[in-house]
Amino acid sequence: MTSPHATSLRNGEIVEENELGSIRRVTADTLPILSGMSIKRIVINPGAMRTPHWHADCNELTYCISGTSFVSVLDSYSRFSSFTVSAGDMFHIDSGSLHHIENIGDEPAEFVLAFRSERPEDFGLAASFGAMTDAVLGNTYDLPASDFTAMRRDTTDRKLARRSGGAEVPATAWFDDPHKFSVEAQSPAIGVAVGSARLARAQYWPALKDLSMYSLRIREDGMREPHWHPITAEMGYVHEGSGRMTVMDSDGTLDTYLLEEGDVYFIPRAYPHHIEVVDAPDIHFAIFSTSRCPATSDTARRPAPTRGRYSPRRSTCTSTTCRRSRSPRPIR
């Protein structure tokens, strides 16, 4: 695949990779078209964790693909929350909120994380402590400075760490939490014979501020019809399957490219585009938008409203699928 709009996230820039797991990312440094968004894929092996950290310049919206994990969050005004997530769950983290992700299951935990910045700035808790003297820490915790002499002094963040002992998960972490949303447990807001969309957006999840997501599935004889988003950009991750994306650029040129599992694409605000399924029984996208409640304009005219949308042209939903009338042409 050679396209200015897409690249592989699974083979993206390595942030950290070892026996504890893997963190890879796509930012504007590797996909220059990105604006106001970027993405990471994190795999955490059993008994490991993504260490406590925060993002200085953007909110985070995370989709859990597999595994079971424990998440803790320290928000503004020292409000603490903790909860568990499994496949099909999502969670939202405000900019500046300290948080960690810990695999408490027996299989690798995989996540796709969208950020509201093309170049997110991260700070690790351990790295920030490494910048402080024993005396500062002693005064902070009202302890002798000598108690901190054994602390590792390193301002380079260690992003993955091994857990010592068994997981400690409070009973309350299994309950619902405002940071968490089970998108795959929702009934499809849009459901037709050839596809469906489950929405994680502000009217269902008030925690969202400047990001949203929908889980889009299209059957092999379907397509996401031509459309554009008047006020939002779109960034999508291919979880399963393969498809052909066509994007029209502002100079009138068309960019058509194949998307495969592990790929990520970016569509700037108001750029027309459509998706067809090719060489796969179906395709599943996790699609993120730069709005808490994105809108869509479609090229197709419809005589009457259908479920979850308005007619004839403007829709407040983020997804419409239709049946493809013929086999897809090969990508050239």
Tens digits of per-residue pLDDT, 57-78? 999 999 999 999 999 999 999 9
Alpha helices (runs of H) in 19-133, residue ranges in sequence order: 125-130
In this prediction, residue 310 carries a pLDDT of: 30
Handedness of CA 305, 310, 312, 318 (dihedral sign): negative
**Which of the residue ranges 177-186, 214-223, 232-241 would you say has the lowest mean pLDDT?**
214-223
For residue 15, count CB atoms less than 10 angstroms from its CB and return exposed for 0-12, middle for 13-18, buried for 19 or more.
middle
> Tens digits of per-residue pLDDT, 280-330?
889 999 999 999 998 877 655 443 333 333 333 333 444 455 555 555 443
Burial of residue 88, with CB atoms counted within 10 A of its CB: 0-12 exposed, 13-18 middle, 19 or more buried: middle
Q: Describe the strand order of the beta sheet including 212-219 as a list of residue ranges.
A: 6-8, 263-267, 234-240, 282-289, 212-219, 195-200, 190-192
> What is the model's pLDDT at position 321?
57
Task: Please check whether residue 22 is in contact with residue 42, taking contact to mean a CB–CB distance below 8 angstroms.
Answer: yes
> In the prediction, which pLDDT does 320 show?
56
Instruction: Over range 179-203, report the average pLDDT.
Output: 94
By CB atoms closer than 10 A (0-12, 13-18, 19+), residue 78 is exposed
Q: Provide CB contacts within 8 A for 95, sequence distance 6+.
A: 54, 55, 56, 57, 58, 59, 60, 116
State residue 329's pLDDT score: 43
Question: Percent of the chain, pLDDT > 90?
Answer: 80
Query: What is the side-by-side strand order in the sheet with 109-115?
Result: 13-18, 21-26, 38-44, 109-115, 60-66, 90-93, 180-181
pTM over 0.85: yes
Residue 174: its pLDDT value, please?
96
pLDDT at 264 over 70: yes
pLDDT over 70 (residue 176): yes
Count of beta carbons in the 10 Å neighbourhood of residue 238: 26
Mean pLDDT, rounded, for 192-216: 95
CATH numbers and ranges of domains, the chain: 6-180 (2.60.120.10), 186-323 (2.60.120.10)
% of the chain surpassing 70 pLDDT: 89
| Count of C-beta atoms within a 10 Å radius of residue 252 | 6
Model pLDDT, residue 279: 87
